[in-house]
Structure 1
Amino acid sequence: MAAQPEAQKQPSWWQRIFTTAPRGQYAVDEKQQVVKENEFVIMRWNLLFLIFDFIIIPLPLWIDIFCPIFAAVYGLFVGWLGAFLLTVCAWRSLEANYLMNRVVDDTWEDKIPRNTDEERRLADNLQHLVMMCGYKEPMEVICQSIDSLAAQSAAHRLIVVIGLEEGTPDVAEKAARLKERYARAFKRFHVTKHPKQWAGGREIRGKCSNANYTMRAAVTRLEEYGDLDLSCTTATSCDTDSIFAPRYFENLGYQFLTSPKAKEVVWQAPLYYNHYLNDRPFYVRAIGIMRAAYMLGFLIPFNINTMSIFSFSLDLCIKGEFFHAHYQMDDIIYTLTCMQALQKRVEILMIPMPVISGPPVAPPNVRSSANGSARANAGRSAPARSSTTLW
């Protein structure tokens, strides 16, 4: 009697949820391998800001004791300079808001050039990899953000990857709920689980290390599916409290396929910190308005740095070796990493599509009802966009 073949062991429930991880060449973080022998860091360059904070800013308070004339001249100079900068900021902010109000409802899909075979190939195969990193955020907040992605006019082009930390409470249950709800909402949808210090002992907890793991896992899976086409793939880094305008990715795709420097720039959308703004203290509302104005007036037009939610070509992300796990936040350091990879300045372009953002922790009334609302919504499937399977 012939021997029966041994039954193949089925993957566990846990393994079926978290099916994507960095593999092959993407499982090696070369930045982590650069370690100096006997390295002992005493000072960091960012500590130079302390000189500005404790000496330059309060200078008028103590310089008057030694030189009253200099104090008067310094006060006038700072006052006029501040007035000039605020005027520039206000003008550029009004200009940007006027542009967004004018084009926010425009369609961009029909403006993508399709004159040659190559242009038609790029337009037909255009896809957007969206990476959303989270930790302990309420499910209600996360679902609001993903719902804004599902409502995109280009949702059928989105590959959404939710990067949760290994230490996230009930991480497997949250991943299962998200997969059940958004299984058919996008081209592909997946949830990853970032292990603690995956890239090595120098890895710092925060969005950078999570984004580094999540993006490498996503690229690994794209390569395994045969969908890793760098000529027509963008990537977007966002938070779990990001509400996108309905045509954000439609406009991003248009800019990506029409810009001559598409693989050498970073796109930044104006952020409005309106997440549950009416439930927050007055000083939080004031700071939110100031941050939005400074982004429109300074950060984007003067190519200073990106903030929280930004987009780029996947080709540039791979050239820059993904995200630097030695830092906590990914926005400022990412632009610098790209400059280092390209050996030149990286320009920041504006996407005229407003994005609602906010602090990662919801107000008390939202946190208290988050779990109940999440359970009620978990079983409700998002509207189908394409016949896709889970990763």
Structure 2
Amino acid sequence: MTGGSGRAPTGGLEAELAQRDAAAGRMATSLVELDAHPAHALLSAGPLTGRTAREWDGARADLAGLWRDFDTYRQVLGAARDALARAGSAGEAELHRLLHEPSIEVGRAVVERRLTGAVERIESITLGELADRMEAAFDRVHELFVAVHAGHERFLAAIGPLAERLRTGRELAAELGDPRTAELTARVEELTARYTTDPLAVADAPPDAALAELAARVDTLTTDLGRAAAARDGWQVRLAGVGPAIAEVEAARGAAEQVRLRAQELVVTAPLDPPPESAPALRGVLAALTDGRLPSGRGWPARARALTDLEADVHAAAAEVRTAHALAEGLLERRTELRGRFEAYRAKAGRLGIAERPDLLALDTDIRRLLWTRPADLAAATRALVSYQRLLAAGESAPGRPA
């Protein structure tokens, strides 16, 4: 907006009036654009809070004063054009008064009351001062509009994608029977209400941290809902796969139990715990899921979690059975390994011609007793084998050994 004060150009009062008329046209354009600013509609539309409400109170008065001052400005220019049209010194004097002298009344106050009436003080300014006052008011209002618009757009840009993800999540949650979006929706509405009624707060107290925390919660929930939807869509296939998996666990447990019993029969060992018998409990949970009976929770997210937990429990039970089987099988394999090593040592002793030495024969008898009787003492057999190996190594390096 350009109106500014200034002295009449050298070309005379008529040229100055033309400049003032041109300035009035620019003022009109600026005021119309200011009135149409998006922030004006935002500020005028609904309730405001906080700093925005306080600053709009002053700016609204400035804006109303701008239009009044503009109307006064145009009226003075109209009177100046009338004075210019009148010939003679009187018209020129009036034109000079209107353009240069404090001819515009902007305030009136009673300063004294007398018997004959009140004495008033009248405040008047020149046309140029009026233009300067308008310029200052315009700058204040425009600056507020720019700040409000920037804050509003920044907040919408931040919360828009989040709100859209939550909207999609609400639709999926409604399908799945999950009520958890209600709290997040209320939080989004709370932030929206705060920062749309006080856009200046976006700069004063940025919502970045709150939005980041909320976005993380929305993403977690939508991911969970996605998993629940996937579980719903693949429910029958996954459910059908659990029964055979439980049967495999049960069969593996039977095999592990046989190996355990055989290991305890053939090997000296501390009592081996039987493999956990988890199949009945797992089948109970499977039956509850198949029949739609859940221990807790409602809707597909709860069903999806229950099925995932059941699959994990089946996997864990299979791992426990494998561990128990491997422990017992390891004892039997160790017995077979020690027997094989002993036979290899005896064969070597025979090749060296020392197999019938009394010390080796004594160990031979002990090792056979330890490994070929039930139950085999693997620990004692291992120690005896070590002794046999040492004697064999010493006999191999002894002088006079047969070639």
Common fold: TM-score over 0.5: no
TM-score range, shorter chain: under 0.3
TM superposition score normalised by structure 2 = 0.18
Larger radius of gyration: 2
